Every structure is written in structure tokens, then in C-alpha cells.
Amino acid sequence: MDVSNWKNKDAAHVWHPFTQVKTEAPPLQVVKAEGSLLFTADGRSYIDCNSSWWVNIHGHGNAHIGKAISEQFQRIDQVIFAGVTHQPAVELATRLTRLLHPSLQKVFFSDNGSTAVEVALKMAMQYFHNRGENRTKIMALNGAYHGDTFGAMSVGERDMFNRPFEPFFFEVNYLPFPEADKEAEILEKAAHAFATGAYLCLILEPLIQGSAGMRIYSVDFLEKLTRLAQENEVLVIYDEVMTAFGRTGKLFAYEHTEVVPDMICLSKGLTGGVLPMGLTVTTNAIFEAFLDDSRVKAFLHGHSFTGNPLACAAANASLDLFQNSETWQSIERISTFYQSNYKRISTLNRVQEIRHLGTIFAVELKAEDGGYFAGVRDEIYHYFLENGCLMRPLGNVLYFNPPYSTTDSQLETMFRTLIAFLERN
């Protein structure tokens, strides 16, 4: 298919996600991806500053992951996962539970981050139902993002994104985002709520809220809130879909703390960001509440591609890469680069706040109309594209969370573009 023809066919037949097709420029026509670079049909290249929607952690075309997928394809491509098991899934569940805290022992497979969250919510609800306990309330944090399916939307921020669906959401209570000076007040509010015995679960993104604009909160708050919930037998769900697999400088974000959730949701970087897969990992105690002579107490949930062997093989290969010191050195190198270049930006006029955690670097701009629909968003996006960087701002927040393969010279290009943008009027 020739290139112009291909573009027209895209416009004729493809409905792109998160896109106002009427006003946005046509999509980039990517023909090749390698390392941290994307190459387009018009002969240009772009640094993949946000790891292709936060998923691609080791860089594109990683040879070790590619080999694992292709070898797995020769053995088993796809097979039903009810009544059947296979080696790549067993290996993945075994390796992950060894890497997680010893209390997290049971792995449930699904297909993406939203379903990993749906599964966690359904498990929490059915856990109490199976035990004959009447708990109906759910607690989440303001600004949360947990995905785009109904359960995930219900526990997320109620904003312009999901207004048409709001009448159909189930009831959820929210705690304010824990700004440093509000922590004590919020914890007190949570303590009162949890003491009622009505709450079944607390769900949150640990330490950093992604879609809300890479908003960071304290380890101390996360530990205290988690303990408050667990003391009242409220199940704690950490949505680590964005934060796991090195993003925050550790394999899992909860490792920055002294607490452990009852459930953890994984996706995005799980397969190295190469194939879709979601996992919900939980405790033996929760698992055991589903064991019974009757089938109705079982967790009657599954997806066609649950435990897909190719995705499992990719995830196992990605875990291999975390056994190499080079992966951790790259994570450290990116974090150090941010640290040593911070000052070049902090004094610039347009900067409201700079946030940095592991391989994530975010700059919030002063903007009269803040938030996702800020007018400045399009200006930023196109400026970065013109300068060879694919970076999708979150409203007035510019951020980098690149693949760990990103070189110092690519980081320098990203920062130079950022500074040049911030120095414009």
C-alpha cells in the first residue's frame, strides 16, 4: 500500500483512541520502531518520550523478548486457560510471586490494566459476599485513573472524560489528594470511614498518580492509609499498572514502603510493553474465601485470551532483563540525568512545579486553564513533534517516562526541546 493511500484509508476506516478526529492532525504513520526511536513513512524519526503510552520499558525490538515470543509460537500460540495450564504461565506466576512480598501468592491473568483492576474489584466484592459479610462501600483517591471499563471508571476521577457514563457508575467515596499539608486531616477522615465497617476495599495508585499529571505523594501517607485500612479489614488494592517494573526506581512502587497491599494490579510494562496482558496478584487468604464444594463461590470470571502463552513468554523474557545489572544501571542513569539537569528548568518563568520519581520527570506549567483540556496542550504536543520528540502532555503537564534504552544524547535532546519550549513566551 503506498503511503498517501494508506493515510486516506486510516481516515476512512480507523477510529483512534482518545482522539477528537475532527480537530486533531492526522496520526503519525509509523513504519518502524527500534530502541527509543519511532520512524515514520515521511523519513523522520521521533524519540518515544512516553514509552508508547507508558508500556515499552526496554526499548522497541528488544532481541531477547522477540526470540522468546517466536520460540513460544513454535510450541503453543494460544490455548484455553480454564481446565488447562502451560509452562510459560506457571513460570511467570512462580517468578512474580518470588519477586513480590511472600504474602502475595496467587496470580489471576487477564488482558490489560483495566481488566486487572476489574478483577481486583470483583474479587474484593465477592470475598465479602462469600464470607456472608455485608460490606458495600469502596474508597478511592481524587484524581485517580484506573482504566476505561466500567468498574475502573467508577473508581476513577469523575471528570469530563467519563461524564456521559457517570449515571451508570456504582457509588464510590473519595479521599482528597494528599497534599503535604492535608495528610493528617485526610487520614483522620479515612479512619472514621473505615471504622464504620462498611468499606470493602481501598484502591489507589501507590506514590504517584499517572493520568492526574504524574502527581506524587508521600511514602508516609501511603503507609499510614494502608495500615488504617488493613486494621479495619478493608482490602487494599494497589494499582501498579503504571508504576511497576522499574518506573519508580524499584521493581514495584510499594517497595519504597514498609507496607504490602492485599492485591496488586499489573500490566503495561509487564510484557516489556510488547504484548497485552494484565495480572491481579493476591493473598492466599483472599483465594481461600473462594474455595467451596459449590461452584457459585468460585471466581467465575475469565477472558478469551487469559494467560496467552506468547504474552507470558514476553513477560518472562522481560523479567530476565531485570536480572541483568544493565537494566538497573539504565534506570539509575536516567534518574541521575534528571537530577543533574533539574536546575536548568527550575528557574524558568512558565514552570509551576517540577516532579521527579525514578524514570519519571514532569513539569507542570503555569496555566490559567489547567487540567487535561488546557489550551496549551496542543501547543506543547506540536512543538515537541517538530523537534523530533513524541510527547503527549497531560493538559498543562509535560512529562517524560521513556524506555530504559533511551541514551544520554536522546535525553539531552528531550531536555533541550523542553527548555526551548519553556523559554518561548
Query: Which residues form the interface with ligand PLP (CB under 6 A)?
Result: 112-114, 117, 145-147, 205, 210, 239, 241-242, 267
Is the Cβ–Cβ distance between 405 and 58 less than 8 Å? yes
Rounded to a whole number of angstroms, the minimum distance from the CB of residue 295 to ligand PLP is 29
5 grid coordinates: 493511500
Q: Cα(54)–Cα(417) distance, rounded to whole angstroms?
A: 20
Phi, psi of 42 (to 5 degrees): -85, 10
The residue among 59 and 276 lying less far from ligand PLP, judged by its C-beta, is 276
The residue among 135 and 215 lying less far from ligand PLP, judged by its C-beta, is 215
Rounded to a whole number of angstroms, the minimum distance from the CB of residue 242 to ligand PLP is 3
The residue among 157 and 205 lying less far from ligand PLP, judged by its C-beta, is 205
Burial of 291 (C-beta count, 10 Å sphere; 0-12/13-18/19+): exposed
The residue among 88 and 147 lying less far from ligand PLP, judged by its C-beta, is 147
Rounded to a whole number of angstroms, the minimum distance from the CB of residue 267 to ligand PLP is 5
Residue nearest to ligand PLP (CB): 113
Rounded to a whole number of angstroms, the minimum distance from the CB of residue 148 to ligand PLP is 6
Q: Cα(85)–Cα(81) distance, rounded to whole angstroms?
A: 6
First to last CA, the chain: 43
The residue among 35 and 143 lying less far from ligand PLP, judged by its C-beta, is 143
Residues in the chain: 425
Rounded to a whole number of angstroms, the minimum distance from the CB of residue 333 to ligand PLP is 24
Q: In what order do the strands lie in the sheet with 30-34?
A: 30-34, 37-40, 45-48, 389-390
Is the Cβ–Cβ distance between 62 and 55 less than 8 Å? no
**Helices and strands, number each (H, E), in the chain:** 14, 16
Rounded to a whole number of angstroms, the minimum distance from the CB of residue 92 to ligand PLP is 17
The residue among 88 and 143 lying less far from ligand PLP, judged by its C-beta, is 143
Q: Cα(319)–Cα(299) distance, rounded to whole angstroms?
A: 28
